Amino acid sequence: GLAFPTSLLLAAGVTALIAMLVGTPALRMTGLFLAVTTLALAVAAPWLLSRPVFADDPSLILLPRQQWLGISLASQRAYYYVCLGVLALTIVAVARIRRSGLGRTMLAVRDNEQSAAALGLSPVRTKLVAFGISGFLAGLAGGLFGGLLVSYEPGRFLVTDSLSVVAIAVVGGLASITGTVLGALLIIGFPAFFPDNPEVGLLTSGAGILLLLMYLPGGLVQILYGVRDLVLGWVAARRPEPEAAPKVLPTGAGHLPERPLPPEGAAGLVVVGVRVRFGARAVVDDVDLRVERGEVVGLIGANGAGKSTLMNAIGGFVPADGRFEVLGTDVTGRAPHRRAAAGLGRSFQGAELFGDLTVGETVAVALESRAHAGLLSVTLGLPKARRMDRAVRAQTDEILTFLGLGPYRERFISELSTGTRRIVELACLLAAEARLLCLDEPTAGIAQRESEAFGPLLLRLREELSASLLVIEHDMPLVMAISDRIYCLEAGRLIAEGTPDEVRNDPHVIASYLGTDEEAIARSGTTD
């Protein structure tokens, strides 16, 4: 008995809620397993829709089109234009979301959930929002589909329809709006345009799709990207040769604006009685550790000593017993993004970040972990969303300039060298306003020349942020040069603590980590 537009919006809203409810228990799954889990609802849909709660006669459901704005929707042509208009509006809305902080956040969580959490983003909240948006679009499309059929049975909604939607996204190109349209044209459009053409039937069959993905793993949109790159390459070849990009780590210039200082007297990090067990094995056993405000503390030890596991426990990425205090705040039991909100910043050995985002977008994600425009404001393009986007861009440019990353702004993370990705990681920690930086092998995988430039850069960041640093590092000259104090781990237990001179001359450290090799000892600066 509702008007057709009202029933459409109601269907979209209810389906958004259902999608979030279905998504909540499915959040423990990732990737393919998540897709299979959500397909379970599609399997159950015919039975659910046949329940009397949906219709007095569950064998037949009616959705008459009626009129909209005085225009009769009875004819197929009129209804086609309504569907086409809704499609156009949906594309505009989704494109706005993709360009917004919310869209960047979704891609960041998809690409690297752990790094996203370390920047203060809540993966659970982000996934649920994504489920809600997807459910809204699915409900809107389902309502339009119901209006197209007018009368239909619950069994009309088959699992194969859901599989077709997945195929459209994969064949067109994931995370690409244009690719999705191209995928729909291939999977749905071509068979409708050429119903009796065997070649088209073969192309859109399972075998044809597999063959297509073998040559175009990025989907049909990969063709457009290839054409774009050829055109841009042709244009670039006819322009003056730009100045070569630096091969060493950029160090930037200038200073960041003044930022609020952490609480007076609060230590950067306090770790008390931390234990981490994997099954029966204790990887970290009763470790106490302290990093004072503005202090640089090194954490050394042989591979397998438990250094990264201890840092993961500090960040909340592994279950651990003990107490953790960050900048005077007890964060024991908090999720990683809650610890990041308290001022904890974390980098990882691989420096993978978010491969599908540019350098500028990656830094913007860190900025938006503190505040971003709401979904409705972004979708409608309201002034508030535009103002926040301009503010994020200005702050991003400021941070990139400070670290000398301006020339890399539009480069994708996947295109960068390891050394430059390390600097982008530091830029993200700056953007997130971290006051305690936990850096896991920040010079791993970079050349010696770049490694030598990293130490002064870390000390400069400490001064600019009034930050405390806990650094895991195997480069002994670097960690000895920048550290005020050093802890050494062996088999999950602390075996030494003190100044660099005290630790590198400690016989237990020499026996456990530095060894008796004269060259290694000389390189670490040990004189005994």
**CA–CA gap between residue 372 and residue 106 (Å, rounded):** 13
Mean pLDDT of 150-168: 79
Q: What is the pLDDT of residue 359?
A: 92
Strands 436-440 and 344-346: parallel
pTM (global) more than 0.75: yes
Least confident of 145-159, 357-371, 397-411: 145-159
Structure tokens at 429: 């920690």
Mean pLDDT of 154-174: 82
Least confident of 99-113, 242-256, 271-285, 393-407: 242-256
Mean pLDDT of the chain: 82
- The pLDDT tens digits for 438-460 are 998 888 777 767 677 778 888 88
Mean pLDDT of 104-109: 90
Residues 6+ away with beta carbon under 8 Å from 310: 271, 274, 276, 284, 287, 289, 299, 489
- The pLDDT tens digits for 503-513 are 888 888 888 77
Q: Which residues pair with 176 in a beta bridge?
A: none
Q: Which residues pair with 270 in a beta bridge?
A: 290, 325
Largest CA distance in the chain: 93
Backbone angles phi, psi at 256, to 5 degrees: -80, 155
Given a cut of 80, whether residue 254 has pLDDT beyond it is no
Least confident of 35-44, 74-83, 248-257, 354-363: 248-257
Q: What is the pLDDT of residue 222?
A: 85
Given a cut of 90, whether residue 304 has pLDDT beyond it is no
- The pLDDT tens digits for 341-400 are 988 999 888 777 888 889 999 999 998 887 777 888 888 888 888 888 888 899 999 888
Given a cut of 50, whether residue 527 has pLDDT beyond it is no
Tell me the pLDDT band of 211, cut-offs 50, 70 and 90: confident
Asked if 483 and 471 count as a contact pair (C-beta separation under 8 A), the reply is: yes
